[in-house]
Amino acid sequence: MEKKPHFVRREFLPREVPSVSLALLLAAVLLLNALLYLYLNKFYISLGRVETDHGLCPFGYFRFGAVKNCSPWLSCEAINTEVRKLKCVGEGAVKKVFLSEWKEKKVVLSHLTNSELKEDFLHGLKMLKALQSKHVVRLLGYCEQQFTILTEYHPLGSLRGLNETLHIPKYKGMNTWHRRLMLAIDYVSVIRYLHSSPLGTLVMCDSNDLDKVLSQYLLTSDFHVLVNDLDALPLVNRSAGRLVKCGHRELRGEFVAPEQRWPYGEDVPFEDDLMPPYDEKTDIWKIPDVSNFFLGHVEGSDIVRLHLFDIHTACKKKDPAERPSAQEVLDTYRKVLTLLIQEAAMPGTREML
């Protein structure tokens, strides 16, 4: 009697293939994670967002452009003889700003315009000298006697022109949720730096509306954010019981924090002496509004807003003590960026597993 053949291999083959495929898939995922980690590491470093900046010069010196050596801040004599004004590019309550030239390089020369505000001007200069870092516009020189400050020039100007810049053909490739979130991270990094600065906890007081906030910051050619105007940076010192007030006039509107508004109602006329002081948490209140501007309305920006919803809700707590610190906001922003990059790099991985 003829024996029937036993197809042993056919019985095991269907079980072996899925096991091998799963192992290969898991190995691929692990490899992708490793590559993603290396990418993110390189990503932060290439964008200059590492915490240490080895490119900074010692106090009193600056490095300009591609020059490797540090030069001392320009003196009154050097500014008067070596710097040539080209045109006026802006004027505020305190300063008039001129696009100028020094050694064939574009620079910015700022002059005091109102002698009654010289204390504000000198305070801004003091802050600029003390806070030189990757977060602050580079100081090139100054002349206290003539109330003059020389700083680095950034052709893209203030953040007020961000959306217009992103519609220029040259920069349209930058108009993504990814790059916009990086700008928001830069902005929060500046706030974090001011709140933990070498001088102590500083409050960004020139921030009573969105337009005013944006005018205080510059957009660099490699798409980073620098704080430019430091005329109104009062110091909070809790241990000494020292809080701040941003100016001597009544502040209104939803943009400013609740504690910055007159607390005694419309029936009581505003008096500066009766206005309670506050701390740096006023800056935290404004972060969601500024970040909303940064994110714009590009593809993916609503997904970013969804991921930031909880931290932004916390920023808007009426009680300042319940709001997160700038460091906590920054940590959350970075986690969201990493998460969204992972999801973009490995779409569908979860479903495959």
**Residues 175, 163: contact at Cβ < 8 Å?**
no
Task: Flag the least confident range among 197-211, 224-238, 337-351.
Answer: 337-351
Give me the sign of the Cα torsion angle 13, 17, 18, 23. positive
> What single-letter DSSP state applies at residue 253?
S
Q: What are phi and psi of 80, to 5 degrees?
A: -70, -35
**Residues 252-270: pLDDT tens digits?**
999 999 999 999 999 999 9
Phi-psi category of 103—alpha, beta or left, where left has phi over 0 and alpha has psi -120 to 50? left
Look at residues 262, 327, 316 and name the one whose alpha carbon lies nearest to residue 292.
Answer: 316
Count other C-beta atoms under 10 Å from residue 269's C-beta: 9
Tokens of residue 279, six digits: 């701390």
pLDDT exceeds 80 at position 341: yes
Assign 166 a pLDDT band (cuts: 50, 70, 90). Answer: very high
- What is the average pLDDT value for the chain, to the nearest integer? 87
Percent of the chain with pLDDT over 70: 82
The CATH code of the domain at 154-346 is: 1.10.510.10
CA distance 162 to 285: 22
Residue 35 neighbours by CB under 8 Å, 6+ apart: none
Tokens of residue 352, six digits: 């495959």
**Residues 277, 245: contact at Cβ < 8 Å?**
yes
Q: Where in the chain is the domain with CATH 1.10.510.10?
A: 154-346
Q: Where in the chain is the domain with CATH 3.30.200.20?
A: 72-153
Phi-psi category of 322—alpha, beta or left, where left has phi over 0 and alpha has psi -120 to 50? alpha
Percent of the chain with pLDDT over 90: 75
Q: What is the DSSP string of 100-118?
A: EEETTEEEEEEEE--GGGH
Task: Provide the CATH topology of domain 72-153.
Answer: Phosphorylase Kinase; domain 1 (3.30.200)
Look at residues 75, 66, 120, 69 and name the one whose alpha carbon lies nearest to residue 93.
Answer: 120
**Residues 175-192: pLDDT tens digits?**
999 999 999 999 999 999
pLDDT at res. 343? 86
Assign 45 a pLDDT band (cuts: 50, 70, 90). Answer: very low
User: Using only C-alpha atoms, what is the Rg of the chain?
Assistant: 27
Q: What are phi and psi of 280, to 5 degrees?
A: -70, -10
- Average pLDDT on 55-78 reads 89
Q: What are phi and psi of 88, to 5 degrees?
A: -80, 130
CA distance 334 to 348: 23
Look at residues 243, 299, 284, 225 and name the one whose alpha carbon lies nearest to residue 48.
Answer: 225
Q: What are phi and psi of 97, to 5 degrees?
A: -115, 130
Assign 76 a pLDDT band (cuts: 50, 70, 90). Answer: very high
CA distances for 218 relative to 154, 158, 169, 244, angstroms: 7, 4, 20, 25
Residue 289 neighbours by CB under 8 Å, 6+ apart: 210, 255
